[in-house]
A and B are shown apart, each in its own frame.
Chain A
């Protein structure tokens, strides 16, 4: 019995199409994506329905708080001390979506949506758009565009190429890793059906988690570099605010949340 929807020849879950009308096709990628989305939202709703702001809290809330708190810390660290709230939704969602997708890859029959180049490309395009969006929001249009001609105007083509290539790299890196992990398991299953595929599946889980971590971190790095010039001023501003208000509670966090 073959639980997998894909056979060895199918590289991407896009190729498993359930329903199609003209250019609209509902394939496995979309179905699994919806599944992951539904699971994430369901967990969130169930847990946040009975939130406690007291010292005693449920285990699920504690888990989510640990995850969200960890993401906030990572973002703050990478962005050089910026307020994590404005990036949390975007970067955090990438992480949670990829992490859950890659985690569920150990479920027989489930194909991670990240194994589809369409998904990774879509996410990369989002990052490609988000980077200048955050940059412009922070520094204004001219301020953002200025960083393309730094240090000299001759760097302009290289900067543009770099922008494009790193987006492509994001998409392909994630796709390649996740897809190959799945394929290796499928191939090994054909060769040595016992024990060894499990080891490879564990390895695939590790790779998937690492990729789920790398993708949002890189996204954050790009965003941080786009907002860097602004950040230095802001750091000064924040330090001034800190000296005036409570040290561990910057004012900007709530205003922007």
Chain B
């Protein structure tokens, strides 16, 4: 018999015991461990998900903050730029003004110096000419030269144009027909007589003429009445020389001034200087006319 009833029963009992033992020792713990792990993993995943969301929100917060800071920085930079620009303009303006001031001061100084120089030149030239003349005339001044001076003066009197003559006569009228002849040298009485006669014939018979010596006239003769005078003397030539010297000096200074102005960067001031230069030129040409 292949089937033993006792063995069958014993195996059934064995099997049931094994079911109980394995349920207690194997399935229960293993399944609960698996469930716990699953639960743990799920909670971890949830946790991770939550943390990720938190991190995301934090990140976006930081991103926003960063952007705000960027904007602020941009704004500040813009403001600083504006301020710097304004400051630059102001400084530029100040610098330009300072340069202008300096230029003006320099020009003033130059003008003064020019004036001083001219005065000095005039004085020196006068002195020098006077000196030279003196010397020359001291060496060559004899009666002939003096006579020549007188005759030149008298020729001039003859050659007076109508207008001048009228003016002088009017002045003579006011000065009660008294006129005075100044000369840089002594005129001898004969000569005085001759002059007196020539003047009377040239101007008016009623006039009285007095003679006077004035060193300043050097080799000149001057006829003066109240508020008017007609003269021929070295002084005239000296004045002429002085005028010419002044003109030449002006021209030289103008050139120097133009060179200084050209150095300035500003186109505007350059333009101004140009127009000013034009004006000067015009004035100059007017003066020449």
The answer on a CB contact under 8 Å between A30 and B7 is yes
Q: If A14-B2, A53-B40, A64-B26 touch, does A123 touch B35 (CB 8 Å cutoff)?
A: no
**Number of chain B residues close to chain A: CB under 8 A:** 36
The answer on a CB contact under 8 Å between A33 and B29 is no
The answer on a CB contact under 8 Å between B33 and A25 is no
The answer on a CB contact under 8 Å between A116 and B15 is no
The answer on a CB contact under 8 Å between A12 and B22 is no
The answer on a CB contact under 8 Å between A24 and B6 is yes
The answer on a CB contact under 8 Å between A25 and B6 is yes
Question: Across the interface, which residues of B come within 8 angstroms of A89, CB to CB?
Answer: 19, 22-23, 27
Q: If A14-B4, A30-B14, A113-B11 touch, does A88 touch B27 (CB 8 Å cutoff)?
A: yes
Q: Bound state CA distance, A27 and B9, in angstroms? A: 13
Question: Across the interface, which residues of A come within 8 angstroms of B14, CB to CB?
Answer: 30, 33-34, 37, 122
Interface residues on A, range: 35 or more
The answer on a CB contact under 8 Å between A122 and B15 is yes
Tell yes or no: A224 within 8 A of B by CB.
no
Tell me, rounded to whole Å, the shortest Cβ–Cβ distance linking B273 to chain A: 90
Tell yes or no: A90 within 8 A of B by CB.
yes
Within 8 Å by CB of A25, from B2, B4, B21, B30, lies B4
Question: Across the interface, which residues of A come within 8 angstroms of B11, CB to CB?
Answer: 29-30, 33, 113, 116, 118-119, 121-123
Within 8 Å by CB of A48, from B9, B15, B25, B37, lies B25
Interface residue stretch chosen among A39-47, A156-164, A225-233: A39-47
Question: Across the interface, which residues of B come within 8 angstroms of A207, CB to CB?
Answer: none
The answer on a CB contact under 8 Å between B3 and A65 is no
Chain B 109-152 interface mask (CB, 8 Å, partner A; 1/0) = 00000000000000000000000000000000000000000000
Q: Whose C-beta in chain B lies nearest to the C-beta of A93?
A: B19
Chain A 52-64 interface mask (CB, 8 Å, partner B; 1/0) = 1111010001001
Tell yes or no: B12 within 8 A of A by CB.
yes
The answer on a CB contact under 8 Å between A12 and B2 is yes
Q: Bound state CA distance, A117 and B5, in angstroms? A: 10
Within 8 Å by CB of B30, from A48, A118, A123, A126, lies A48
Q: Bound state CA distance, A24 and B4, in angstroms? A: 10
Question: Across the interface, which residues of A come within 8 angstroms of B37, CB to CB?
Answer: 53-55, 57
Q: Whose C-beta in chain A lies nearest to the C-beta of B22?
A: A93
Question: Across the interface, which residues of B come within 8 angstroms of A64, CB to CB?
Answer: 26, 30
Within 8 Å by CB of A257, from B15, B21, B26, B31, lies B31
Q: Whose C-beta in chain A lies nearest to the C-beta of B9?
A: A122
The answer on a CB contact under 8 Å between B21 and A41 is yes
Q: If A45-B25, A89-B23, A123-B15 touch, does A14 touch B7 (CB 8 Å cutoff)?
A: yes
Tell me, rounded to whole Å, the shortest Cβ–Cβ distance linking A249 to chain B: 8
Question: Across the interface, which residues of B come within 8 angstroms of A103, CB to CB?
Answer: none
Which residues of chain B from 86 to 115 have any CB-CB distance to chain A below 8 Å in the complex?
Answer: none
Q: Bound state CA distance, A51 and B26, in angstroms? A: 11
Question: Across the interface, which residues of B come within 8 angstroms of A54, CB to CB?
Answer: 37, 40
Question: Across the interface, which residues of A come within 8 angstroms of B21, CB to CB?
Answer: 37, 40-41, 44
Binding site for A on B (CB under 8 A): 2-12, 14-19, 21-23, 25-38, 40-41
List 5 tightest A-B contacts by C-beta distance, closest first: A122-B11, A53-B36, A118-B7, A44-B25, A44-B26
25 contacts between A and B (CB under 8 A): A23-B5, A23-B6, A27-B7, A30-B7, A33-B14, A40-B26, A51-B30, A51-B33, A54-B40, A57-B37, A61-B30, A65-B33, A65-B34, A68-B27, A68-B31, A93-B15, A93-B19, A118-B3, A122-B11, A123-B11, A125-B12, A175-B2, A249-B38, A257-B28, A257-B32
Q: A27-B7, A48-B30 are in contact. List 16 more A-B contacts (CB 8 A).
A: A40-B18, A41-B21, A44-B21, A44-B22, A51-B30, A52-B33, A64-B30, A69-B34, A90-B19, A92-B22, A92-B27, A93-B23, A94-B15, A117-B3, A119-B7, A119-B11
